[in-house]
């Protein structure tokens, strides 16, 4: 099986760094509200600068509320999806991308942003390595198919396989993750 793209995700680039001390906080972090993102009100993330649309950042940390927010011009509120825990056939809705022309960013690039921003979670403690093994773009639906491995340490270090798809409805902008 050949990789179209290899993606490495690490906790070093985790936008929620320092915001996961309690299970309550972890639960709050699953919901990503929308906001206008600008440099005066939000801290932005260096590793996500390449995803700007018309010089606008897509994800930031609101300095007033200390919450991660998503750009309200391009997204609805989002819910994080944990690809490490989605059983085969189960669909997890993430939210909507509002620019359904996809002129500002391609569906493939949008999926890559969601992975790099860790809105789609692909590891527990350390890192993941993902392989984009296929894409389907038919019937107004784009689907990226991934396999990979995520690494974590509890009593000993482990590696577990990952298999999931990310789909974007080109008509509605609806984003979802499905286990397989």
What is d(CA 160, CA 128) in angstroms, rounded to the nearest whole number? 9
pTM of the model: 0.92
For 111-123, b where at least 16 C-beta lie within 10 A, e where not — what string? bbbbbbbbbbbbb
Domain residue ranges of the chain, discontinuous segments joined by +: 5-179
| 25 pLDDT tier (thresholds 50, 70, 90) | confident
| 18 pLDDT tier (thresholds 50, 70, 90) | confident
CA distances (Å), 180 to each of 34, 97, 103, 143, in order? 30, 23, 30, 13
State yes or no: pLDDT of 42 exceeds 80.
yes
Whether the CB-CB separation of 149 and 73 falls below 8 Å is answered with: no
What is d(CA 85, CA 97) in angstroms, rounded to the nearest whole number? 23
pLDDT of residue 46: 95
């Amino acid at each position: 099986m050949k990789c179209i793209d290899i993606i490495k995700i690490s906790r070093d680039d985790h936008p929620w760094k320092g915001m996961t001390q309690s299970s309550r906080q972890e639960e709050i972090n699953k919901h990503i509200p929308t906001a206008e993102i600008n440099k005066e009100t939000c801290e932005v993330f260096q590793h996500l600068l390449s995803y700007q649309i018309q010089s606008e950042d897509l994800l930031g940390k609101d300095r007033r509320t200390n919450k991660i927010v998503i750009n309200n011009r391009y997204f609805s509120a989002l819910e994080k999806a944990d690809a490490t825990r989605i059983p085969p056939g189960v669909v997890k809705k993430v939210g909507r991308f509002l620019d359904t022309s996809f002129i500002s960013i391609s569906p493939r690039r949008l999926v890559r942003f969601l992975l790099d921003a860790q809105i789609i979670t692909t590891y527990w403690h350390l890192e993941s390595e993902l392989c984009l093994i296929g894409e389907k773009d038919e019937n107004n639906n784009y689907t990226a198919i991934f396999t990979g491995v995520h690494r974590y340490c509890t009593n000993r270090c482990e590696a577990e396989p990952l298999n999931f798809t990310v789909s974007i409805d080109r008509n509605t902008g609806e984003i979802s993750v499905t286990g397989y």
